[in-house]
């Protein structure tokens, strides 16, 4: 099975959340693959927005592949009980959008 070819066929069905362009010609970089899982970076060709996906291949009778955000893994590679919520992600986006400086400065404020 050619993972990049499979992902490219699926990408045609999606649009970039940042610029709205089709993801058909997106950049696909498989960072790691083990058993039925893969970690993939997908980059929009139009605006260069990047997304990190954890791909989990399902068993027979289910869909051929499912993409879930890699947010259920912490820095040490351990699974986290509760994934980041949509509200938490929006809050982080607003915080970063209003910040003009180094990330270390932002973290020191918290």
Other C-beta atoms closer than 10 Å to the C-beta of 41 total 15
40 in any annotated domain:
yes
42 in any annotated domain:
yes
Can you give the length of the chain in residues?
A: 110
CA distance 70 to 50: 13
Return the closest-CA partner of residue 27 out of 16, 42, 15, 17.
42
41 in any annotated domain:
yes
Domain count, the chain: 1
pTM strictly above 0.85? no
- Counting runs of H as helices and runs of E as strands, what totals does the chain give? 3, 4
103 in any annotated domain:
no
**Residue 3: enclosing H or E segment and its boundaries?**
helix 3-11
55 in any annotated domain:
yes
99 in any annotated domain:
no
Q: What is the pLDDT along the chain (110 residues), one digit of tens a residue?
A: 688 888 888 888 999 988 999 999 999 999 998 888 889 999 999 999 998 988 887 756 544 445 555 544 444 555 555 666 777 778 877 777 877 877 777 777 65
By residue range, what is the domain housing residue 38?
A: 3-81
């Amino acid at each position: 099975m050619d993972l990049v070819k499979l992902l490219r066929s699926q990408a045609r069905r999606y649009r970039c959340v940042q610029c709205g362009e089709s993801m058909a010609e997106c950049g696909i970089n498989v960072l790691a693959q083990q058993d039925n899982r893969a970690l993939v970076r997908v980059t929009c060709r139009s605006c260069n927005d990047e997304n990190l996906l954890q791909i989990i291949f399902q068993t027979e009778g289910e869909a051929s592949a499912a993409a879930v955000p890699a947010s259920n893994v912490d820095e040490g590679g351990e699974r986290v009980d509760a994934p980041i919520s949509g509200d938490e992600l929006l809050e982080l986006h607003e915080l970063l959008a209003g910040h003009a400086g180094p990330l270390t400065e932002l973290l020191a404020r918290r």
